[in-house]
Amino acid sequence: MLVKRKGITVSRQIMDDQLLHPGATGELTGLLNDLVVAGKIISAEVNMAGLADILGQSGRTNIQGENVQKLDVFANQTIKRRMEQCGHVCVMASEEDDDIIPVLEGYEGNYTIAFDPLDGSTNIDVNVSIGTIFSIHRRLSPSPGQGNVGDLLQKGGKQVAAGYIIYGSSTVMVYTTGSGVHGFTLDPSVGEFFLSHPNIKIPDASLYYSVNEAYANHWFDSTRRFIDHLKTTDGGKGAYSLRYIGSLVADFHRNLIKGGIFLYPRDKKSGEKSEGKLRLLYEAAPLAMIAEQAGGRAITDDGRRILDIEPTKLHQRVPLIIGSKRDVDLAEKFLRGEM
């Protein structure tokens, strides 16, 4: 295993990951490198977002020569354009599109990508951290040629890579190819991501919980008792604090670095038979792979491991409990009625 030094570039790290797989063809490396480019383009646009209203549509064009458009539409288009002609993807799915997205003819590769182009959409216009989440699988259908929906409907445990790019006070890319989790910070002055968080391990236990407490009246009893427990641990002395940004990627990133547990469970309003709000393919599965690679856990509110869930449709939703291992273990006990 190579010793990781802060400061190496993300491209170097992606190549090092490839060296861990002797039979690798370089396709995944090429795909990830193109995703990095997409992240840089989106980051530049996010940084200009506040100026869009001032500059308006009058003459300000983006890198593709188009007028400024809504950020989520821009992010979606940017990723699709990079991926459809990178030569390593056979089919895509985006949280923003109803159906599968084909790639350009002649450019079909051996991987699939599912992505949420800009997670945390309600925070876009107010300078709060948002992010791109991605999930990559190897195709199942025979190569060459276009992939199909079956290539995308694979369980999270089969992901070959997953990650996110968070556009916050700085732009940070966190990803895993199954050999640990690394974080890179974009230096905008040179346009390069440098290793800033080598081999991330999520603290085992924490003092933070993240949940939309406005829904407390609708929570099932098990959720309410768990959150009450966190608030009163040690008679209140060692009690947890609430941190809820409302952008999953930002809440997850904070918990990954500082430790914490994030919950988006089913409740009485959505119903026991519902699946919560968050999407399995674009949100829960990729973040679950990162959480587990970093030593954490990700389960549903009835104790199923997120990475074991076989998707049946592209936009499938799933209740999500994710974060520090001991916190998720504890939540599981409450949800199973053991506490």
Minimum gap (Å) between residue 245 Cβ and ligand FDP: 8
When asked if residue 57 is in the footprint of ligand FDP (CB under 6 A), the reply is: no
Cα–Cα dist 31/26, whole Å: 9
- Identity of the residue, 66 or 213, whose beta carbon is nearer to ligand FDP in the bound complex: 213
When asked if residue 320 is in the footprint of ligand FDP (CB under 6 A), the reply is: no
Question: Which of these segments, 31-39, 80-88, 113-121, 300-308, binds ligand FDP (CB under 6 A)?
Answer: 113-121
Minimum gap (Å) between residue 300 Cβ and ligand FDP: 16
When asked if residue 78 is in the footprint of ligand FDP (CB under 6 A), the reply is: no
Strands 181-187, 192-197: pairing is: antiparallel
Cα–Cα dist 278/216, whole Å: 18
Binding-residue total with ligand FDP (CB under 6 A): 12
Minimum gap (Å) between residue 222 Cβ and ligand FDP: 19
Place of tokens 């959150």: 227
When asked if residue 248 is in the footprint of ligand FDP (CB under 6 A), the reply is: yes
When asked if residue 217 is in the footprint of ligand FDP (CB under 6 A), the reply is: no
| Residue spans of beta strands (DSSP E) within 103-148 | 111-119, 130-138
Give the residue, chosen from 30, 39, 117, 120, that forms a contact with ligand FDP under the rule CB under 6 A: 120
Looking at residue 61, the DSSP 8-state letter turns out to be: B
Distance of CA 204 to the CA centre of its chain: 20
Q: Return the H-helix or E-strand segment holding 294.
A: none
- Identity of the residue, 32 or 248, whose beta carbon is nearer to ligand FDP in the bound complex: 248
Minimum gap (Å) between residue 212 Cβ and ligand FDP: 4
When asked if residue 131 is in the footprint of ligand FDP (CB under 6 A), the reply is: no
Q: Which of residues 253-312 bind ligand FDP (CB under 6 A)?
A: 277-278, 283
Give the residue, chosen from 212, 232, 233, 274, that forms a contact with ligand FDP under the rule CB under 6 A: 212
- Identity of the residue, 98 or 105, whose beta carbon is nearer to ligand FDP in the bound complex: 98
- Identity of the residue, 14 or 245, whose beta carbon is nearer to ligand FDP in the bound complex: 245
Looking at residue 189, the DSSP 8-state letter turns out to be: T
- The end-to-end CA distance of the chain, in Å, is 42
- Identity of the residue, 88 or 243, whose beta carbon is nearer to ligand FDP in the bound complex: 243
When asked if residue 122 is in the footprint of ligand FDP (CB under 6 A), the reply is: yes
Under 8 Å CB-to-CB from 58, ≥6 apart: which residues? none
Give the number of other Cβ atoms within 10 Å of residue 271's Cβ. Answer: 10
Output the six-digit token pair for 198.
């080598």
When asked if residue 135 is in the footprint of ligand FDP (CB under 6 A), the reply is: no
Give the residue, chosen from 246, 310, 313, 339, that forms a contact with ligand FDP under the rule CB under 6 A: 246
When asked if residue 121 is in the footprint of ligand FDP (CB under 6 A), the reply is: yes
Give the residue, chosen from 45, 96, 119, 267, that forms a contact with ligand FDP under the rule CB under 6 A: 119
Distances (CA, A) of 37 to 61, 110, 186: 18, 20, 11
Cα–Cα dist 101/205, whole Å: 40
Q: CB–CB of 132/75 below 8 Å?
A: yes
- Identity of the residue, 104 or 128, whose beta carbon is nearer to ligand FDP in the bound complex: 128
Under 8 Å CB-to-CB from 99, ≥6 apart: which residues? 314
When asked if residue 223 is in the footprint of ligand FDP (CB under 6 A), the reply is: no
Cα–Cα dist 7/27, whole Å: 24
Please state whether 207 falls in left (phi above 0), alpha (psi between -120 and 50) or beta: alpha
Q: Which residues bind ligand FDP (CB under 6 A)?
A: 119-123, 212, 246-248, 277-278, 283
